[in-house]
Structure 1
Amino acid sequence: MRQITLDELYDLGRAAYDDIWDTAKAYGRDPKLYLHWTAGHYGTKFDDYHINIDKDGNLYASTDNLADILAHTWRRNSGAIGIALDCCVDATSEDLGPEPPTAAQIEAMAQAVWKLADALDLTIDKERVMTHGEAADNEDGLYTHDAYGPKNTCERWDLEYLGTDESPSFNPWATDGTRGGDVLRGKANWYRENAPH
């Protein structure tokens, strides 16, 4: 696991471009970016994810090849990149626990999505950028498994809400942009349009 910058993340994405796209096309789709939390402590990183983001918003790569197929999202790992916030130990749908996502983590995840989407020529939308909870419920219309997300069994509900003013509470049926995935995609698109390149 090594710390990287956003520019280095972009370079890793570009280097893996052909392999990721070829793998995704074999499944008849575009590449995917899956957004997670580890359900662990702020300082604990896991190599199931290509990128871990610590409490302070620092990025850590678990591999030098983002085309590596890692175990981040059940039955959805091929042609996909997993990005995780190191947080949310003991989180429940009522309380994100003693180590909720920090503002620095949320912004860093949005920036990582922006950089990787640019590197891979991806639109930042739910078809291509999903939280683990959204993916668990097959919200992109790809039914790779029975639904097990927040609208169903709630076995996986990563980032359904962020515990912020923009995304204050668990409500997987919300259509007002307060779900965690909507907020993160919105921020990533803001960075794409407004941040210096």
Structure 2
Amino acid sequence: MPATIYLHWAATPYDWVRPGHYHSIIAGDGTLHRLHAYTIDLPAHTWRRNSNAVALSCACMGGRPDPWSIPPTEAQLDAMCREAAEIARGWGWGEADITIERVMTHAEAASNRDGRWMHDNYGPVIWGGTGERWDFLQLRKGGPPSGGDELRQRIRAFLAGGGQPAPLVFRRSATMQVRGQELDVEIDEHGSSWARAADLLLRYEIPYAWEASRRRLLVGSLDVVPSFRADQVQPQVGWPLFEMTLLSGPAPVILRGILRDNRAWCRVLEFAEEFGISVSFEPFTLLERRGG
């Protein structure tokens, strides 16, 4: 199958985040949780359409008995469409490529609306289906059944450059002690310390490989369990993003960082917490890698 982006809702509360189901999940406040590399296939997000596909899902529509008591928020829809646009841009797509054949809601996929008859019609009843899946048939309760078209139009607008956030500002350069040696860092406008990811990995003798075409650092470590933290670096930082993933089957994302001066930078404290490195403060110092 050609590469396809599938747009889902998870039928959950706004704060639901679990790896394994979708590549990224967007919480109710618009926070994007990047869980798996977009280059790997996950097995169970869109029936019989999981190969060569990326699944983005909004944590919403989990109300009982009325799903619409937890509707998709504007922040979620905005974040999902912005992320879909970034994926499309990375694949070399333009606005004209954002078609139903390449970007589909689960409602559309369930009803084979792209013309590929992959399975029986388990989509919305109004499209002749059984009604089992109707993700984003509508974007609001009582709205028109044109959710897919509306979302694709938003994605095209982001691809055209609309609504780009201002880049995070870095205030000054500094040094800090990392494993008994000085390390160059940059301090951002919020006071957070950032370092080149490769410098940190080398300092702790953690093997890695850089995939420039995918903006990804592959880490070969068997003793890291990603926390999928809620404060993961978001697209709103305004810089191109990279991801650091484990070199394993589902390629779970350890953290996200930014590309600055053609180098991958990550937040120092986040790196330490993900890799089990002891930390002391006043002054901020990274010690040994102890785990836990």
TM-score of Structure 1 vs Structure 2, range by shorter chain: 0.7 to 0.9
For residue 28 of structure 2, the aligned residue among 55, 58, 75 is 55
Task: Establish whether residue 109 from structure 1 lines up as the match of residue 87 from structure 2.
Answer: no
Task: Point out the structure with max Rg over C-alpha.
Answer: 2
| Structure 1 counterpart of 2:221 | none
CA offset at residue 49 of structure 1? 0.3
Alignment of 1:91-170 (within 5 A): 96-122=67-93, 123-150=97-124, 151=127, 152-163=129-140, 168-169=142-143
Which structure 1 residue ranges, 5 or more long, are not aligned?
1-26, 172-178
* Structure 2: distance between partners of 1:87 and 1:117: 24
Alignment of 1:181-192 (within 5 A): 181-192=148-159
Question: What are the superposed Cα offsets for residues 103-154 of structure 1, whole Å, 9 maximum, x if unpaired?
Answer: 1001111101110111112311111000000000000111110111012111
Say if 1:50 and 1:66, in contact at 8 Å, map to a contact too.
no
Say if 2:4 and 2:53, in contact at 8 Å, map to a contact too.
yes
Amino acid across the alignment from 1:75: R
**Normalization by structure 2: what TM-score?**
0.51
* Structure 2: distance between partners of 1:143 and 1:194: 34
* Structure 1: distance between partners of 2:134 and 2:102: 18
SS at match of 1:35: strand
| Structure 2 counterpart of 1:66 | 39
SS at match of 2:160: helix
Change (3 A) 1:114 1:65: closer
Task: Establish whether residue 46 from structure 1 lines up as the match of residue 13 from structure 2.
Answer: no
Amino acid across the alignment from 1:82: A
Question: What are the superposed Cα offsets for residues 27-74 of structure 1, whole Å, 9 maximum, x if unpaired?
Answer: 3xx200000000001001233100100111111122235323331100
Select the structure that is richer in strand: 2
Q: Which runs of 4+ in 1 moved over 4 A?
A: none
SS at match of 1:186: helix
* Structure 2: distance between partners of 1:34 and 1:140: 12
**Normalization by structure 1: what TM-score?**
0.74
How many pairs align? Answer: 157
Select the structure that is richer in helix: 1
Change (3 A) 1:116 1:162: same
SS at match of 1:84: strand
Question: What are the superposed Cα offsets for residues 65-115 of structure 1, whole Å, 9 maximum, x if unpaired?
Answer: 5323331100000000000000001378xx642210001001111101110
**Percentage of matched positions with identical amino acids:** 39
Q: Which has the higher contact order (CA 8 A, sep 6+)?
A: 1
- Aligned Cα root-mean-square deviation (Å): 1.9
Greater Cα offset, 82-91 or 137-146: 82-91
